[in-house]
Amino acid sequence: MRQNRGLGCGCLGCGGGTLVVLALLGALAWFVVIKPARDFIAGWQPPQTQTQTPGRPQTPGQPSTGSAQTALTRSEIEKFVRVRRDVRTALGSSFTGLQQVWTDVQGGQTPNILQALNVLRQAGGSIGAARTAQSAALTREGLSPERYAAIRAGVNRALGLPNVDFARAAESLQRGQLPDLSSTVQSASAQESALIAPFRSELTATAAAGLLGL
């Protein structure tokens, strides 16, 4: 007597049905998660950094390459503000979508991977324009990308904001790693808080650009 097939058993057999499901999940992961991350990284071309020889004084026009532990200065905050203005302008209407996600992050909501990738897709070609504007502004202001990132982290601490970076999240996904999208806020030093105080309003208004590593 012919036995009835169990649940999930079709013309390919029980194992075949499982393979079909796994294939569909793999395709979904590729098109929804992995491919958008790879496309984003492909168009994400960081500006070239200039290294400084240890022990040699910095010459005029050479980017500042202070480490992440180097204390921030008033001059650096002013430079950061000017760079952020150029980035905000280059992002155009894409900044509105970033601002909405950033509002959720400020409210304590930790973004998930799909939210991060959706933001990257919506930003589209604006990311390239903003990246170009940032590169030109960093050169003009004499800041290295590494030092700019350190200043951004200090500014976020002083503003009481998390240091969420969807660009790094996309890089982690491309490497097959689970990204860190924690919205934990780190404490700022008294000096950092005092330095950003005169610029708090503008820095808060442009903070959403940090979601793209800008």
Cα distance between residue 105 and residue 116, in whole Å: 12
Cα distance between residue 86 and residue 8, in whole Å: 56
pLDDT recorded at residue 77: 96
pLDDT recorded at residue 45: 46
Cα distance between residue 39 and residue 109, in whole Å: 26
Q: Can you name the residues that pair with 64 across neighbouring β-strands?
A: 143
Please choose, from the candidates 41, 93, 87, 115, the residue with its C-alpha nearest in 3D space to the C-alpha of residue 206: 87
Count of beta carbons in the 10 Å neighbourhood of residue 67:
8
- Tokens standing for 192? 């950092």
pLDDT recorded at residue 19: 55
pLDDT recorded at residue 169: 67
pLDDT recorded at residue 172: 67
pLDDT recorded at residue 51: 39
> Using the 8-state DSSP alphabet, how is residue 57 labeled?
P
pLDDT recorded at residue 72: 93
Across the chain, the runs of DSSP E, i.e. the strands, are none
pLDDT recorded at residue 41: 53
- Tokens standing for 48? 């070239």
* Sign of the Cα pseudo-torsion (119, 122, 128, 134, in order): negative
Model's pTM, two decimal places? 0.67
Non-local CB neighbours of 37 within 8 Å, separated by 6+ positions: 117, 120, 170, 171, 173, 174
Name the phi and psi angles at 143, rounded to 5. -115, 140
Cα distance between residue 107 and residue 114, in whole Å: 19
10-residue mean pLDDT profile of the chain (214 residues): values are 52 54 50 54 47 42 61 95 95 84 77 71 79 95 95 92 72 65 75 94 91 84
